[in-house]
Structure 1
């Protein structure tokens, strides 16, 4: 596709002038380095599967690079191998980012999935806007495939040779390639790719083909026909850009029917988007959805593995394309693993539990007078991070909040609940945020028991 661009824990109670609580993992978890007892790539390898991620080459440093190298055994360049990137003007090539990703993968003992050789989108202007005869177009396509695949011969394990050839109803998409060369451009592309690198696995990749439907049946019939004709085709890629709660019931059945044709199946671009803001319930559903996808792949021997389309929300294409949607990946924007991460680990045979207890909230009375007081709560993290927070307590002597700042506070009877403002939900590892409030009291002002939730 296009550019890449946690449960609640009981409080720890203290008495005295302040109350300290331990925050759980509603949008909270340990940092990446402590994400799981066993990295996802090791869990996947034990099951004979790949667990991959699409990456942006320029980001492969720091925490982003650490996670990409430690957790995944396959990498897919998000944009670096697309035609507009590698040949922005005719005959002028730019391999810098693609080479960077391949080198990173080799240094981290990872396989690379090439993406993508033939697509209707992200083609350079000189190609898309040109006027070509069929013979010229065929030569351009053959030269492009031969040049790119040969460059990485022996270093890439697989290629998404043809990307998104079908419409939703199963007819061929009207593209530069289909309109100029006919449906057989697919067979030609596969044949040219095989000649350029006989060892790389060759795939056709598409979206909305995860369940049994008209589009996936068209892909099935194409693969069956290619096999019968002796055209080199090793696998199909099911992109799996899914919506929360909408994993197709026929996912495993569909994987199996392709496998029964004698080809491999890979889940190539998995993300599961939700309408923002994310909530505990949505994250729980997302985790279940991720697990359902992984379970379907694990259950079919010829499903080679799963690649997520970016592992962190900060590198996801979703918000730029689907207005109001996001939070689609296993890590939040601060590289904190979400429930989806642990669901993937569980599906791959892991037994990790999201860690808790590395963030805390301290309640204190800053000043007090005969009819009221100013309270303050400081939320701090050490060894973890937050992307949202909520602090709750019950006043025991009739105190009433009259004003709050840097948080949205609501009180019903004695019960108070304060959530982050739009600008301070993020608490990085080693950082803190503070909010305050004014409240009325009469007679006594005992320190409340603060909880999270």
Structure 2
């Protein structure tokens, strides 16, 4: 059964226009996919949501529609309507689909979790489930999250219906059954808090290495990337690289960056830097194949329901307007060097005025068009290529790690409607001196 929607010609409402070049085109130019998790009922019932999903992304992940409780709520009784709808939408919009997920400890139907099945019965049920679902979408799914969230934080196996009945071998079995059902789909293991190098990611690394040694079909690992503001691991790129060095693809599969509410301009600027850092880490490793966000907008996000007091985790606000995080992602993908502030039209332009061996001078100009203004502004950016700030004028600037933050001098803290202020600085560089994306608030 297929519930299809006719949304291919939808125009993005004016409040949701984000950039001249959609993220999907910028990502394609970099050789990666950019995706998001979606719900079928929102694709058919929310024009803004559907327009963003269809125009900005090259990959869609069913948020819940392919989980066991959704597709087989009663034993032997299947409901494919929402999953079919999402696959149809993706096909209409020239997008790939990431299947999520075949085996998980959570969101399983009551008949399964309370059935009192023996280990042999559970093994047969799992094999049938994978064959049925992956077989239904054979040739329509680019990649499957075959097994989701296998480990505890200390790297031990999570106690689950599957592990308790079948031991750690259930992972290899699931991969083999998925390969039989959908031979051309990429097969992934997917988990959270494995983005940096730690005990949990070490366990995933060792498991994948063992699976490859066994000859089990494993193509990639998914790093979920549900981050807290300002806590993107410094070892993210190195961790991606070590999995790639095993001959695996790596994908960022569920990216969001939650903050304690209320959101402020400073928090949104930090969130933009966090999103940018993730994109840059992926682009730096050849086998990092794509980045998928988790939920289109803050209005759709799972975060407030699970983490009380936190939210504002996505690239779009609750009114489907692009946030600084969106512009930071676009810039990191090569879309330009200027990031608009949240809800306003004032912009910051960074320009290298002079450059010589080992040193350079640069200027930042903050401009507000008629109708917009700033008071006690702050400008911030990341030096991603090792540059160091040495001296600044007309602003107080400091650098902590890669992050540079500049505040006004006593005489230029206000940017009037239709006006601008500028400040400059000297710095050092080695190897390259790319123009960073600047946020201003």
TM-score (norm. length: structure 1)? 0.72
Q: Following the alignment from structure 1 to structure 2, what is the Cα–Cα distance between the partners of residues 181 and 97? A: 31
Do structure 1's residue 181 and structure 2's residue 185 form an aligned pair? no
CA contact (8 A) 2:104 2:148 kept: yes
3-state SS, counterpart of residue 299 of structure 2: helix
Question: 1:142-197 CA deviation, whole Å, 9 max, x = no partner?
Answer: 00000000100000100000000000000000000000011000000000000001
Q: Following the alignment from structure 1 to structure 2, what is the Cα–Cα distance between the partners of residues 108 and 219? A: 34
Find the counterpart in structure 2 of residue 19 from structure 1. none
CA contact (8 A) 1:146 1:193 kept: yes
Question: 1:290-311 CA deviation, whole Å, 9 max, x = no partner?
Answer: 0000000000000001000012
1:40 to 17, 23, 34: 23
Find the counterpart in structure 1 of residue 404 from structure 2. none
Q: Number of aligned pairs?
A: 340
CA contact (8 A) 1:30 1:355 kept: no
CA contact (8 A) 2:237 2:281 kept: yes
Do structure 1's residue 311 and structure 2's residue 312 form an aligned pair? no
Q: Following the alignment from structure 1 to structure 2, what is the Cα–Cα distance between the partners of residues 354 and 260? A: 34
Find the counterpart in structure 1 of residue 15 from structure 2. 31
Higher-RCO chain (CA-CA 8 Å, sequence separation at least 6): 1
1:117 to 102, 106, 128: 102
Find the counterpart in structure 2 of residue 50 from structure 1. 33
3-state SS, counterpart of residue 19 of structure 2: coil
Do structure 1's residue 331 and structure 2's residue 337 form an aligned pair? no
Work out which of the two has the higher radius of gyration on C-alpha atoms and give 1 or 2.
1
Cα distance change on mapping 1:226 and 1:390 into 2, 3 Å: same
Cα distance change on mapping 1:288 and 1:356 into 2, 3 Å: closer
Q: Following the alignment from structure 1 to structure 2, what is the Cα–Cα distance between the partners of residues 126 and 160? A: 23
3-state SS, counterpart of residue 105 of structure 1: helix
* CA positional deviation for 1:31: 2.6
Find the counterpart in structure 2 of residue 433 from structure 1. none
CA contact (8 A) 2:34 2:57 kept: yes
The 5-angstrom pairing of residues 189-204 of structure 1 reads 189-204=174-189
3-state SS, counterpart of residue 60 of structure 1: helix
Find the counterpart in structure 2 of residue 343 from structure 1. 328
Cα distance change on mapping 1:357 and 1:103 into 2, 3 Å: closer
Q: Following the alignment from structure 2 to structure 1, what is the Cα–Cα distance between the partners of residues 213 and 123? A: 23
Cα distance change on mapping 1:187 and 1:357 into 2, 3 Å: closer
Q: Following the alignment from structure 1 to structure 2, what is the Cα–Cα distance between the partners of residues 70 and 115? A: 22
CA RMSD of aligned residues (A): 2.2
Find the counterpart in structure 1 of residue 275 from structure 2. 290
Do structure 1's residue 209 and structure 2's residue 161 form an aligned pair? no
* CA positional deviation for 1:351: 1.2
Q: Following the alignment from structure 2 to structure 1, what is the Cα–Cα distance between the partners of residues 129 and 203? A: 27
CA contact (8 A) 2:331 2:338 kept: no
Q: Following the alignment from structure 2 to structure 1, what is the Cα–Cα distance between the partners of residues 224 and 334? A: 23
Do structure 1's residue 301 and structure 2's residue 286 form an aligned pair? yes
Question: 1:245-279 CA deviation, whole Å, 9 max, x = no partner?
Answer: 00000000000000000110000000000000000
Find the counterpart in structure 2 of residue 92 from structure 1. 77
3-state SS, counterpart of residue 159 of structure 1: strand
Find the counterpart in structure 1 of residue 206 from structure 2. 221
Which stretches of structure 1, 4 residues or more, deviate above 2 A after TM superposition?
Answer: 29-33, 352-360, 389-392, 449-453
Structure 2, unaligned stretches of length 5 or more?
Answer: 1-12, 346-371, 376-415, 420-440
Q: Following the alignment from structure 1 to structure 2, what is the Cα–Cα distance between the partners of residues 450 and 297? A: 39
